[in-house]
Amino acid sequence: MKQIFKRYLWLFEFIGAAIIIGVGLVCKFVPVVLYFIVGTIFVFMGLFRIIPLVKTTEDKFLKWFYAGEMIIEVAAGVVLIVLAIKKGNDIDDSKALFGYIVGGILYLHGFVYFLGTSLRKDVTTFLPFLANIILLTVGTWIIASKGFTLSTLGWVILAFAILSAGFIVFSGIKNYSSYRNELAAKRITENVKVEDTKEAPTSDQIEIEKEDETNSNIDGDNDNAPEVTA
């Protein structure tokens, strides 16, 4: 199964790229979908991170902060999903609330991260450090701007979708080329095996050659035998 998936990985990559582009277009032209997507992301990020994060954190003070952040994140996701279900296509009326929720979650995530690394000496690396600076900055900007239009967010998501799909398609092209080269190499190997089979002598031919060699040796011995004179 693993070999089959690896061989046809290019197919899944092409399909995945098409789905990502489709989701990006839907987000741009059907704003209510943004509430479902962002809300689901918040819920998943909160639920799936809380247990591993709390278990691997030794500082009890940080454990409570991380747990609180996850709970707020899940609650924010649920609020966005409920808003999308209740308001439907009239969701534009809630764009300020949407902006405050998204901006608040981004700011909270950055705040808790720097609280842990700066005051509680939690372990980190450069990439999470840079990412949380960006999240803290973007969250502050969204809150200060009193939200943002769904059209703007739709364009941002569409741009990310196109960029992500581009990388996936590029990888898919490389994997498809490898797949075709593998098939070509397999055909060449099979042709070589067929030719070797044709050229290889059969067992009957080997027996005949052995008999001929034996007979020729006997004849040679008879020729070399001394003549007896009377």
pLDDT tens by residue, 88-105:
766 665 667 888 888 899
For residue 28, name the pLDDT band (cuts at 50, 70, 90). confident
Distance CA(206)–CA(178), nearest Å, equals 43
Distance CA(14)–CA(166), nearest Å, equals 10
Please say whether the beta carbons of 76 and 42 come within 8 A: yes
pTM of the entire predicted model = 0.62
Q: If we measure between CA atoms, which residue out of 148, 1, 120 comes closest to residue 62?
A: 120
How many residues are listed for the chain in this entry? Answer: 230
pLDDT at position 219, please? Answer: 55
Q: Where are the domains of the chain?
A: 2-179
Distance CA(227)–CA(207), nearest Å, equals 33
Distance CA(88)–CA(167), nearest Å, equals 33
The helix (run of H) or strand (run of E) holding residue 49 is helix 32-55
pLDDT tens by residue, 169-209:
888 888 888 878 888 888 887 776 666 555 555 555 555 55
Distance CA(70)–CA(64), nearest Å, equals 10
